[in-house]
């Protein structure tokens, strides 16, 4: 069964204090690994898709990396507006559409 | 360009009543997904629809739940005879076609069953 485990469950950082969020996965043939951001009371908002081990993508203060077993979301010099829940999801290789398996997320709080 | 619209945002039902959740995909999108988020759990896939067709409903409970996406109008997720365990946030997402890089999610409907 496809599974996604995210750690830590919650993370509190000071503004400017860089850190990384972890996403470990087991999937029957990875078609894609996705990172989404979710603010309270809102739906997930797409951040990145990674397709193969060694791939990296960046957007502002965020950088996502992928290995064969896990993905990291690195946050460099975070700001309070980066506070949100970050969700990781995988799409198995045997589905041609986005039947995603999500982790439970990491709740990030960045204090000024 | 409006995003994915879901209504109502909050829905309160008593046990045994019916709940109808609506989702209008982004303009130009003909593929709709429904996901459910239970407290302290991750988002769970429920069903994938294209216009007038259910493509995959493997995540839907076998009883009481149904979904449709008619040729005209929004997609509807219908829950009959609701129970307390149905209380959750229900999210709809859309995409323009298969195999796209990302989904666009609505803000969800929070269903509370008393």
Confidence of residue B99 (pLDDT cuts 50, 70, 90): low
Strand partners, A109: A12
Q: List CB contacts (< 8 A) between A44 and chain B.
A: 43, 91, 103, 105
Q: Is B103 close to A98, i.e. CB distance below 8 A?
A: yes
Indicate whether A34 pLDDT > 60: yes
For Cα atoms A65, A12, A8, give the angle at the middle one, nearest 5 degrees: 50
Q: Name residues whose C-beta falls within 8 Å of residue A26's C-beta, 6 or more positions apart in sequence.
A: A2, A3, A69
Could you tell me the sign of the dihedral formed by the alpha carbons of A39, A41, A42, A48, in that order?
Answer: positive
Q: Do strands A62-66 and A56-59 pair parallel, antiparallel, or not at all (unpaired)?
A: antiparallel
Q: Which of A12-26, A50-64, B92-106 shows the lowest mean pLDDT across its residues?
A: B92-106
Q: List CB contacts (< 8 A) between A36 and chain B.
A: 105
Q: Is A44 close to B55, i.e. CB distance below 8 A?
A: no
Q: Calculate Rg over the CA atoms of chain B.
A: 13
Average predicted confidence (pLDDT) for chain A: 94
Neighbours of B111 (CB within 10 A): 21
Q: Which two tokens stand for residue B67?
A: 């979904």
Q: Which of A10-19, A78-87, B40-49, B77-86 shows the lowest mean pLDDT across its residues?
A: B40-49
pLDDT at A98: 81
Indicate whether A95 pLDDT > 90: no
Indicate whether A12 pLDDT > 60: yes
Alpha-helix runs per DSSP H in chain B? none
pLDDT at B1: 55
Phi, psi of B61, deg, nearest 5 = -55, 145
For Cα atoms B8, B14, B20, give the angle at the middle one, nearest 5 degrees: 35
Average of per-residue pLDDT across A65-90 = 97
Average predicted confidence (pLDDT) for chain B: 93
According to DSSP, residue A94 is labeled: T
How does pLDDT run across B19-64, given as a tens digit for each residue?
A: 999 999 999 899 999 999 998 888 999 999 999 999 999 999 999 9
Average of per-residue pLDDT across B10-18 = 98
Q: List CB contacts (< 8 A) between A95 and chain B.
A: 56
Nearest C-alpha of chain B: how many angstroms from A45? 7
Q: Are B18 and B78 within 8 A, CB to CB? A: yes
pLDDT at B9: 97
Q: Is B108 close to A43, i.e. CB distance below 8 A?
A: yes
3-state secondary structure B13-31: ECCCCCEEEEEECCCCCCE
Indicate whether A61 pLDDT > 80: yes
Q: Which of A81-90, A98-107, B95-104 shows the lowest mean pLDDT across its residues?
A: B95-104
């Amino acid at each position: 069964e496809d599974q996604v485990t995210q750690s830590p469950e919650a993370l509190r950082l000071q503004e400017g204090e860089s850190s990384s969020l972890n996403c470990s996965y087991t999937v029957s043939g990875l078609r894609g690994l996705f990172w989404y951001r979710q603010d309270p009371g809102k739906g997930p908002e797409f951040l990145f898709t990674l397709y193969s081990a060694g791939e990296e993508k960046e957007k502002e203060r965020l950088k996502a990396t992928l290995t064969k077993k896990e993905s990291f979301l690195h946050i460099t010099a975070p700001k309070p507006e980066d506070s949100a829940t970050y969700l990781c999801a995988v799409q198995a290789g045997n589905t041609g559409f986005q039947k995603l398996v999500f982790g439970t997320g990491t709740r990030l709080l960045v204090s000024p | 360009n409006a995003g994915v619209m879901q209504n109502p945002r909050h829905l309160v039902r008593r046990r045994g009543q019916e709940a109808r959740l609506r989702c209008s995909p982004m303009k130009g999108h003909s593929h709709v997904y429904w996901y459910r988020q239970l407290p302290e759990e991750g988002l769970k896939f429920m069903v994938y629809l294209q216009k007038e067709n259910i493509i995959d409903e493997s995540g839907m409970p076998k009883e009481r739940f149904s979904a449709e996406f008619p040729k005209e109008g929004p997609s509807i997720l219908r829950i009959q005879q609701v129970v307390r365990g149905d209380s959750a946030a229900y999210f709809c997402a859309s995409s323009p076609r298969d195999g796209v890089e990302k989904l666009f999610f609505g803000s969800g409907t929070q269903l509370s069953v008393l």
